[in-house]
Structure 1
C-alpha cells in the first residue's frame, strides 16, 4: 500500500451522492445536472471527483456531446437507482403514516406487496373497485423473501409471491398463505430468429448452446436454473442481468435467452415458448398477516388476484393449451369468467 493511501480521506457515500450520479446520467451534462440540483458546475465537478475517488474508478467520460457513464458508471447507477427509489418510497410512506396517525377521520388502509407480474395492475384495479374508500398502496419487489419480511414486520398486510421449485421460502411463523398455483411452468423468451423459435414447444437441449439470463436479485432463480441444467446433463453459460430493458435487448438480438412467466407477452423481435417437460416451475402464493383483515376481506382479495391472473391466461394461447393439459379444473374457471 502506498503511503498516500494511508492518509487519503475516506468519503462516505450517501443518498445525496447517488442523486448526483443519477442527475449527471439523466441529463447527460454536468452543467444541466448542476442546474437541476441547484449547484454550481465547479461544485458538482468537485463532488463527482470525490465520489470517483471513494469508489476507486472513473464513472463518467467527458465528451463533446456531454458526459456518458463508463462501464463502472453503469454498474454503480444500476445499484444507485433502486436505493433512491426505496428512499423516496420510505419517506412517502412515513409521511403518509404520520398523516394517517394524526389526521382526523383516519381512512382505512390496505398495504399490498407483490413480485413483478402482469397480474398486478389488473389486481389493483379490481381491489380499487371493490374497496373504493380504502387507501390501497402497492410495493413491488423482485425478492419474495423481502416481501415476506415486510409482512412479518407489519409493513405489508398481504403479499403475492412465488417460490422456486426445490427452494422453499421461509414463510414467517405468524404468517398464513394460500396457494394460487401449485406449479406454474416457466416459459422461455428467445429471439424470433432463433432456430428453436419456429417450434411450438422447445427442449432444453435446443438451448444448450445459448447464454441464459437470470436476475441476481430474484430469490433462488440462479440456483434453481443450475439444478435443472445439472439434472438434464447440460452446462450452458448463465449470466446475471438485473436491468429488464437490457435483458430484453439481449434476447431480441439473439445474445441470450431467459425464463419468463407463462403470462408474459413477447417483446419486439422475440417469442415466448413453453419448455418440454416444464423443468422450470414456481409456486404462486398469497400470504398475509393473521388478525389484520377479516376472513371475508381476505377471500375477496384472493378472489380478485385469481381473477386477474386468469384473465391473463385467457389471452395467451400457449398457456391456455398448457392449462388444458395440466389444470383442466382451473381452465374451467378461466372459461367461466
Structure 2
C-alpha cells in the first residue's frame, strides 16, 4: 500500500484525540474501520505507530517520527492548494499578460512559454534599450513584468518599488568573424583584441563603463565602438569590420564565432522584475520559472557556453529564487 495524505491525516487525528474511538468520531468513521485502516498503514510503514493502553493510545518512537513529518507535510500541502487556487484565479482574471524586455532571445523564450502554458490569456510585449524605462513602466503598472540585464553586481533600477529575481548569470563573450585568426582559440585574452574596432548595442546601464575599465586593465583603449542594433552588430562582426560583445547565450549564427574571454572580465546578470502589489504578482513564481527555462534552453543551444559552464558552475541559470 502506498502512503497517502489521508493516511497522514488519520495518524494525526489519532494522536490528537488520544483514542481510536474519539478519532473515529472526528473522522466520521466506524471504530473498527479506523482500526483496520491503522493496521494497514502500520504494515506499510514497517511497525506499530501507537501503543494501546487502558487510557488510550500514545505514539511509539516510529509514530513520533511519522507525526513530525506529517506536521511539516500537511500544512505544506494545504499551502500548495491555496497557492494553486490563487494562481489559477489570477491567470484567469488577467485580461492580458504584458511583458517588457531589452532586445534578445530570452524575451522571445519567455513569451513562448507564457503563451503555451496559458493560451487563453493574451500576451503583449514591449521592447526598449533602456532598462530604466522598462522598470518605470512596471512601477507605473503599464507592464506586468520586465526582463532586463545588468552588468556584474550592479543594482537594477527601481529597487525600492520593484521585486527583482535573478534568471541567470552569464559571462560576456566576444563575437567575431568565423574566419578571424583568433576564432580558432577556445578562449581569447582581451589584450589580444587591442587593435580591433568594436560593436555593441546601446543601453543606459553601466556596461559601457565596465567594458572601458576592463580594456584599461588589459592595457588599451578601444579604437572605436559602433553602437547600433543587434542585427547590425552581427553583420559588422560577420564581415570582419568589428568584433562585438555578446551574451554567452548568443545563438549559433552562420559566419560568426563566439568565444569566452580569458578570466571572464565582464559578466551579465539577467533579471525579471515586477511590482509586489500588482495583480500579476501572484504569478511571479511561474513567470520566473518560465524565464529561467528560456535561459537554460538558450545555454544548451550554445556549444561553446555548455563547455565553458562545466568549468564555471557558479554561472548559468539560477537554480532558485534569489532576491536582488
Q: Shorter-chain-normalised TM-score: which range?
A: 0.5 to 0.7
- Larger RCO (alpha carbons 8 Å, 6+ apart): 2
Quick check: 1:217–1:242 contact (8 Å CA) kept in 2? no
Indicate whether 1:273 and 2:268 are aligned: no
Indicate whether 1:196 and 2:192 are aligned: no
Q: Which residue of 1 aligns with 2:38?
A: none
Match of 1:318 among 304, 311, 318: 304
Q: Which residue of 1 aligns with 2:241?
A: 255
Runs of 4+ in 1 over 4 A off after TM superposition: 328-333
Summarize the Cα distance change of 1:237–1:196 in structure 2 as closer, same or farther, 3 Å threshold. Answer: same
Q: Which residue of 2 aligns with 1:117?
A: 104
Indicate whether 1:177 and 2:168 are aligned: no
Q: 1:328 deviation in Å?
A: 6.7
Summarize the Cα distance change of 1:167–1:237 in structure 2 as closer, same or farther, 3 Å threshold. Answer: farther
Q: 1:247 deviation in Å?
A: 2.2
Q: Which residue of 2 aligns with 1:76?
A: none
Which region of structure 1 is more displaced relative to structure 2, 132-141 or 240-249?
A: 240-249
Q: 1:184 deviation in Å?
A: 1.4
Q: 1:165 deviation in Å?
A: 2.4
Q: 1:307 deviation in Å?
A: 0.7
Q: Which residue of 2 aligns with 1:297?
A: 283
Give the greater-gyration-radius structure (CA). 2
Q: 1:266 deviation in Å?
A: 4.1
Q: 1:138 deviation in Å?
A: 0.8
Q: 1:168 deviation in Å?
A: 3.2
- Distance across 2 between alignment mates of 1:310 and 1:112: 19
SS in 1 for 2:306: helix
- Distance across 2 between alignment mates of 1:245 and 1:155: 28
- Distance across 1 between alignment mates of 2:317 and 2:101: 24
Paired residue total:
228
- Distance across 1 between alignment mates of 2:231 and 2:280: 40
Matches within 5 A, 1:130-169: 130-165=117-152, 167-169=154-156
Quick check: 2:131–2:157 contact (8 Å CA) kept in 1? no
Quick check: 2:172–2:245 contact (8 Å CA) kept in 1? yes
Summarize the Cα distance change of 1:229–1:332 in structure 2 as closer, same or farther, 3 Å threshold. Answer: closer
- Distance across 2 between alignment mates of 1:228 and 1:234: 9
TM-score, scaled to structure 1: 0.62
Deviation per CA, 1:19-60: give whole Å up to 9, x if none: xxxxxxxxxxxxxxxxxxxxxxxxxxxxxxxxxxxxxxxxxx
- Distance across 1 between alignment mates of 2:140 and 2:173: 34
Quick check: 1:216–1:240 contact (8 Å CA) kept in 2? no
Q: What 5-or-longer segments of structure 1 have no aligned partner? A: 1-104
Quick check: 2:166–2:269 contact (8 Å CA) kept in 1? yes
Matches within 5 A, 1:44-55: none
Q: 1:297 deviation in Å?
A: 1.3
Quick check: 2:189–2:261 contact (8 Å CA) kept in 1? yes
Quick check: 1:151–1:288 contact (8 Å CA) kept in 2? yes
- Distance across 2 between alignment mates of 1:226 and 1:197: 22
Q: 1:239 deviation in Å?
A: 1.5
